[in-house]
Structure 1
Amino acid sequence: MEKQAEAMETSPAPAASQSQFDSAEDVMDRAVESAIVRGMFGHNDASRRQFIKLVGGGTLAAALGSILPLEKVKAAVKDSIGPLEKTKLKVGFVPITCATPIIMAQPMGFYAKYGLDVDVIKTAGWAVARDKSLNGEYDASHMLTPMPLAMSLGAGSTAEPYLMPAVENINGQAIVLHNKHKDKRDPKQWKGFKFGVPFEYSMHNFLLRYYVAEHGIDPDKDIQIRVVPPPEMVANLRAENLDGYLSPDPFNQRAVYEKVGFLHMLTKDIWEGHPCCAFACSKKFATEMPNTYAALFKSIVDATHYSAKAENRDEIAKAISPKNYLNQPEVVVKQVLTGRYVDGLERKVHNVPDRIDFDPFPWHSMAVWILTQMKRWGYISGDIDYN
């Protein structure tokens, strides 16, 4: 608990992969401990950190243990699921590697382990995923991390409270440029470029804006940013409708595979450990079907923990590459998941094991950063209480 308390209060974002944990139960323990600490202090990060700095993580752990049966609380969260209110569920996903835990939980039995019969439904794009979730066609869905915030705020859609109990993946994206731009590696040379992103309310859009702005490029005046469904990215690059894109994989690696583009940089080099996609559902679903919600959440945590283990990545690539899931060459998916890949520039194989990683823990600082970018670029207006 001491180590975890310190990590929770000092890290602005996840410091390490979930693979540091021995089991999915360790991840659940972390979620319980964080919830208790935040329950005591609310969202006042400054006072919480000041208190922990004053007394120390060990003292806090001892204090919590003296007034709360921590181990019993953890056991209750992990072990006690009552009768499921609903067993047959529909969960949407967009066919990208970020959705790995949600997808592979079906063929590899993680949903069935908790008594759920889940139909994972391939979805054309994020607007469709949002709309089908809002109108109740999906019980839960793979979403981009900013989407539950935007939906709760009513930005771009009707307002409805949404929950994001789990991050699906961290890292896992890249900036791709057309091969004709191999001599334009400095973003200052990108004025007039047309870029694709998968959705307005996406980490891809906000990371691209942040990156070019850091190099003196105004993303609203100096370049064009267009919403392009991920499966259409490569075709638009080949047709030169786009000069580049910041997209989910496997479409970054697919551009290299098709010899039409190269990897300018991985997004982990912009923000190490950044969130990308998420597992989300309506607050209504979680409150009206708490046991089903708990079973679904545990399925996702188990699958995410399994995905975080490097030794499982080859097996997962084989499971999710077929037509009914990603519909991609297995070699492309494997390059993304294992981090052993070619970038279209150098004649060597790169080895970046955390090119994509999986950690289900949603840090509040992630949400704050997303909201600051939504405010910065005009997606929300008025005064914002980020906490």
Structure 2
Amino acid sequence: MKKTYIFLSTLVLVTTAILTTALKPVSEPIKLGFIPLTDCAPLVAAKELGLFEKYGVNVQLSKEASWANVRDKILNGELDGAHCLFSMPLSVYTGVGGKAGSEMKIAMVLNNNGQAISLSKDFCGQVGFKDLKKVNGAVNELKKKKEVTFAMTFPGGTHDIWLRNWLAAAGVNPKSVGIITIPPPQMVANMKVDNMEGFCVGEPWNGVAVAQNVGFTHIATQDIWKNHPEKALVVNKDFSASRKEDLKKVMKAVIEASRWLDNMGNRKKAAAWLSKPYYVNAPVAVLEARLAGSYDLGCDLGEQKYKGDNMMFYNNGIVSTPQKGHAIWFLAQYVRFGYLKSAPDYKSIAEKLILDDVFAEVAKEMNVPIQPDMKPFKTAFDVEFDPNSPTGYLALTKR
């Protein structure tokens, strides 16, 4: 009788535990968008490695068609956040790429480097790798035959600004050529049907253009600005306020995934994941090569090797910090290239949109060194930029 009682008591306890677990409310899902680009890798790796679950969040990844789609879904709350152009929140808030005053929050940076400017075969043999001196002449020659058009992915986005900086450095007035917006996965197809003569986009689409013999890699963005901010984890304003602890858990998972990705021995596996149709849907060989920093340039230009300045996701903590100084640089570019007719309130916009306080908490808990902010820096083809004096920089660029 005693044994029966013990058995029944144990059964009741076990059954209660099972029912309690079954009835325990599941955490509300977090929906994060991404565009099919190599640098969505931190979100993909965090998902594939089970890191979101490790940190206690239920994350669903959503493949999106365009940056405009990502913008709209973050703003209306359909997405809680996304792999996003670092400068998109700045562009949207200032009215360059959206309704002025709309707030999207920058939680952390996902990667540095790894974008490129590709040119069509029209320029093959006329312009070489990083050969900016010949670009203006080649463009002028081509203008005699047809209108010359370049493509980027979002007005005021990172690709747009790299393209305009490159044109200016090459002596081409951006207003003298056509500049159109094309979603990243559609770049190669549009060049194939002669809709543009060049484009700036993230990988793997520059590598795909070479593999399909449609164009060649003229310059990588790390050649324009080494270790530049590129994609960021951008989140819905209300989500960042109401679910701050969940956001921190997402950031922790992404940081751990970013560290894993910067072990170069793991990039082959990452390329295999990214190649899947539900992620980037591109040839694994192209993804793998450019992740490794090995660029077949096309157009008989040979191969370029990047080491230490290829696409980086953590880089000993250098990547992750969202810097106000970098945000102010992008805002200054909007003035420089005529997107804004007058200077915005640089510092207040950067402070409003960058969640540096949340990042500081996560960085402390994850032992991530926070990078110094608001220090002057210089890109490859430009004058020095002091975030504390954007007007001084703009005066120098007008000379």
Bin for the TM-score computed over the shorter chain: 0.7 to 0.9
Other-structure match for 2:262: 308
8 A contact 1:253–1:336 mirrored in 2? yes
8 A contact 1:144–1:201 mirrored in 2? no
For residue 386 of structure 1, the aligned residue among 346, 349, 356 is: 346
- CA deviations on 1:257-290 (whole Å, 9 max, x unpaired) are 1111111111111111111111111232111111
Other-structure match for 2:135: 187
Could you say what secondary structure the match of 1:120 adopts?
strand
Q: Normalized against structure 2, the TM-score is what?
A: 0.72
For residue 89 of structure 1, the aligned residue among 30, 33, 49 is: 30
Could you say what secondary structure the match of 1:157 adopts?
coil
Pairs within 5 Å for 1:211-226: 211-220=166-175, 222-226=176-180
8 A contact 2:84–2:232 mirrored in 1? yes
8 A contact 2:39–2:203 mirrored in 1? yes
Tell me which moved more, 358-367 or 249-258. Answer: 358-367
Corresponding position: 1:204 with 2:152: no
Could you say what secondary structure the match of 2:180 adopts?
strand
Tell me which moved more, 339-348 or 125-134. Answer: 339-348
For residue 102 of structure 1, the aligned residue among 31, 37, 43 is: 43
- CA deviations on 1:311-346 (whole Å, 9 max, x unpaired) are 221111112210010011100110111112311134
The 2-side partners of 1:298 and 1:143 are apart by 18
Could you say what secondary structure the match of 2:241 adopts?
helix
Offset at residue 349 of structure 1 (A): 3.8
Corresponding position: 1:324 with 2:278: yes
The 2-side partners of 1:337 and 1:307 are apart by 10
Corresponding position: 1:249 with 2:207: no
The 2-side partners of 1:236 and 1:383 are apart by 35
Offset at residue 348 of structure 1 (A): 4.3
Q: 1:363 to 1:85 in 2, by over 3 A?
A: farther
Offset at residue 205 of structure 1 (A): 0.8
The 1-side partners of 2:216 and 2:97 are apart by 32
For residue 114 of structure 2, the aligned residue among 160, 163, 172 is: 172
Offset at residue 125 of structure 1 (A): 0.4
- CA deviations on 1:102-132 (whole Å, 9 max, x unpaired) are 1221122121111112111000000000001
Q: 1:153 to 1:223 in 2, by over 3 A?
A: closer
The 2-side partners of 1:347 and 1:227 are apart by 28
- CA deviations on 1:122-154 (whole Å, 9 max, x unpaired) are 000000000011111001111111111223344
The 2-side partners of 1:232 and 1:333 are apart by 17
Code of the residue aligned with 2:257 in structure 1: it is A
Corresponding position: 1:229 with 2:183: yes
8 A contact 2:210–2:297 mirrored in 1? yes
Offset at residue 179 of structure 1 (A): 1.8
Code of the residue aligned with 1:265 in structure 2: it is I
Pairs within 5 Å for 1:18-33: none
Gaps of 5+ in 2: 1-24, 128-133, 314-318, 348-399
Count of residues in Structure 1 that have an aligned counterpart in Structure 2: 304
8 A contact 1:85–1:291 mirrored in 2? no
The 2-side partners of 1:160 and 1:223 are apart by 30
State the Cα RMSD in Å: 1.9
Offset at residue 85 of structure 1 (A): 10
- CA deviations on 1:36-63 (whole Å, 9 max, x unpaired) are xxxxxxxxxxxxxxxxxxxxxxxxxxxx
Corresponding position: 1:273 with 2:224: no
Q: Normalized against structure 1, the TM-score is what?
A: 0.75
Task: Please say which structure displays the higher CA radius of gyration.
Answer: 2
Could you say what secondary structure the match of 1:341 adopts?
strand
Gaps of 5+ in 1: 1-83
Corresponding position: 1:127 with 2:68: yes
The 1-side partners of 2:192 and 2:343 are apart by 43
The 1-side partners of 2:197 and 2:301 are apart by 23
Offset at residue 176 of structure 1 (A): 0.6
Could you say what secondary structure the match of 1:164 adopts?
strand
8 A contact 2:335–2:343 mirrored in 1? no
Could you say what secondary structure the match of 1:241 adopts?
coil
8 A contact 2:97–2:155 mirrored in 1? no
Corresponding position: 1:375 with 2:316: no
8 A contact 1:169–1:356 mirrored in 2? yes
Offset at residue 347 of structure 1 (A): 6.6
Tell me which moved more, 125-134 or 294-303. Answer: 294-303
Code of the residue aligned with 2:180 in structure 1: it is R
Code of the residue aligned with 1:377 in structure 2: it is F
Instruction: Give percent identity, aligned residues only.
Output: 33
The 1-side partners of 2:173 and 2:199 are apart by 16
The 2-side partners of 1:273 and 1:287 are apart by 30
- CA deviations on 1:183-236 (whole Å, 9 max, x unpaired) are 33122122442111111121111111111112221101x211110111111111
8 A contact 1:85–1:289 mirrored in 2? no
The 1-side partners of 2:340 and 2:43 are apart by 30
Could you say what secondary structure the match of 1:380 adopts?
coil
Offset at residue 181 of structure 1 (A): 1.3
Other-structure match for 1:23: none
